[in-house]
Each structure stands twice: as C-alpha cells, then as structure tokens.
Structure 1
Amino acid sequence: DIVDQWNSAGNEMAVLTTYMTNLADKNYDSIRHKSRTLVRSIMCDYEYEWTGIMRHIKFNLQPQFSSKVEGSPQLHPFWAAGFSFGRGHFVVSIPYDHYLPFVFQGEEILQTIRGFTYGYDFYAPMRNVAFHIYAMNENKEARENIPKFTENESFFGKEVKSQSYSRLIGISGTRGRPKDYFHLEE
C-alpha cells in the first residue's frame, strides 16, 4: 500500500512523512491490518521551544484531517521523524546529522530545510500504514519507564547537548547564527 501511495505522487523526490496515529485511538483494524480511518496528520504546525539564544523550532501534535486531495498524497511543508518513506537516496543525500547528540525536539526542521534544498518534497500519506503507542493515558506509565536515548545525557554533561542545539540553530538559521558552533559537514 505505501509503495502504491508513493508511486501515485508521481515524483521521484517525494517523501511520505507524518506523525503516526496513536494505536490506542482504535484507528487500526487488527483483523484486516489496515487503518479504520482516512484521517492522518498534516505537518503544518510549529512552535518555538525555549527562549533566548537556544530558542528553536519544534513540532508538537499536528492537526489530523481526511485528505482533500484524491488519488495522491497531499503535499505539506515539513518532514516528520515519526514516519518517513521515500527512495533510498533521501537518507543517502540527507543523512541524520550525527553531530546532534541528545537533540529530540528540533532535528525535524533541519531535515526539512536540508531535504528541500536538495529538491525533496514532503507529502502526507493518503492512508496511515504505521501506528505508534504514545506515552499517554493508559500507556503513559509503561512508556515512561523504558530506556531512552537521553538516559546517558548526564554522563556526557549538559555542554554536549548545548553544543548540539547551537549547531542545529546555526545551520538552520532559525534564530540567527550563534557565535560558535561545530561547522563540520554542514
């Protein structure tokens, strides 16, 4: 199904990307293995996190709509880390920036900018094909107790995280350029 959705975009540089629908919302038919609804997130809403020199763009909960575009995915402005499907050359051309350790909120705008400048277009899929169990309601306690990539943050010190966000802000230009940030492989 997802390959057919990608093909229907008619764009070699298309990336189907969105935040996955919460599995707990009962939007998944476990017998047919399909979404029960055509509602999916449209990546169009952002906000700034933090204040001062470390202020940066991040995405929160995105609006969910049924598609008004029929027969192909819907173009939208941002790349989402939750779900991303396209040709392999996307991750070769726009790899994750491995100089951003401990960045959880904010890397998506950098991937969006880098992808767009390489000619990629971002689309919301026509139908959800992947779901996620979010840390909310009845799942919150169980999800909060699993290991996270930030668990070793204190071992490396706050300076590493600070350097990562300075690089993110410096490259993206969303807050002006910090005086010093790691310029390698920009």
Structure 2
Amino acid sequence: MGSGVNDRLDVLDAPAPAAWSTTEDRALVEQRVRLYLNALGVHDPHETEVLVRRVIERVEFRATLGQLGEPLEVAIEETHRLLDRWLVAELGLESDPDRISAARAAVLGGHVPGWTQRWAGLSEESLADSIRAVRFQAVPERAPLTMEPNPIRLCCHHLLRRFLARVGRWLWMRGRHSAATEVQA
C-alpha cells in the first residue's frame, strides 16, 4: 500500500500573511506551498519547484483580478485546482465529480507510482491506465431511504384552538350563571 497523504499538515497552522504586498509575504506563501506539496507526496525538489511556480502564477493572476483574499488559502485552492485539472486532462474526464474524487484518492493514496513527475509535466508517460486500475469508489452506492410522513403541527393553530375553547367555556359558564340568576328572580 502507498504512503498516502502525510500527517505533517500541522506546519500549516501558523498564521499566514494578510496580503500579497511584500516579497516576504510571497516567500512565506511559497514556503508553505512547498510544505503542503510535500505533505501531498511531492518529494522531488525539481517537481516541487515546477508546481510551486505554477501555483504562484495562479495566485498572482487572481491578485491582478482583485480576487486574492487570503494568499495562503488561495494558494491551497489553486494547488487543488491544478491537481484536478491534471486528473481531468490525464483521464479525459468530463468533470464527473465521483470519478475525479476516485482518481484523486488513487494518486494521493500513493497507489500510482510516478504521478508527481507526470503532474509536474516532467514525464511523457501516461498514467491514465494505472490510475483507472486502482478502481476506488468515490462514494458509497446510492441508497435512498423512505421517510415516514411527519404531520405539521403549527403552534399557533393549537394555541388558537385552546384560546377559543377557554373563551367558549367562560361564555358558557357566564351564560349559565346569568340564566340561573334570572330563574331565581
């Protein structure tokens, strides 16, 4: 079985820069993306540099569009987008979420050797057959359940009924009391 996603993601808990304003901010985000890629299974320094450069280009592009937000969060989003786009292109998928999730599980689970090199664009060998051979099922089989009907009980409806019943009793008792006094008179 493969090594899978490493449990070294706690290094990402340190606060990220609030803006993409200085070269120090950029260097910090680049370092954190390197650590994240390493946790995903990208260990070769050349592959890491290629992927970090692509991620940073996407982050800079979003910054020019005014859609940056938190730079580290955007960098992580772009890392996942790059991975998903590569899987869609590699497998010829049509954005089928279940198949993309299964392919992502296959590569991140460590079941496809050499996938990081192919993802970085440093290998010409297609891994589509290897990824498909793993055959992960992304989600459990659909099993819809039947639900018993639940009657709607409106609180105000019952409140109104109780109020009218009390008013009716009060009027009945009052009518009875006044009728009794008329009979005595």
Q: Normalising by structure 1, report the TM-score.
A: 0.21
Higher helix share: 2
Structure whose alpha-carbon radius of gyration is higher: 2
Larger RCO (CA under 8 A, 6+ residues apart) = 1
Q: Normalising by structure 2, report the TM-score.
A: 0.22
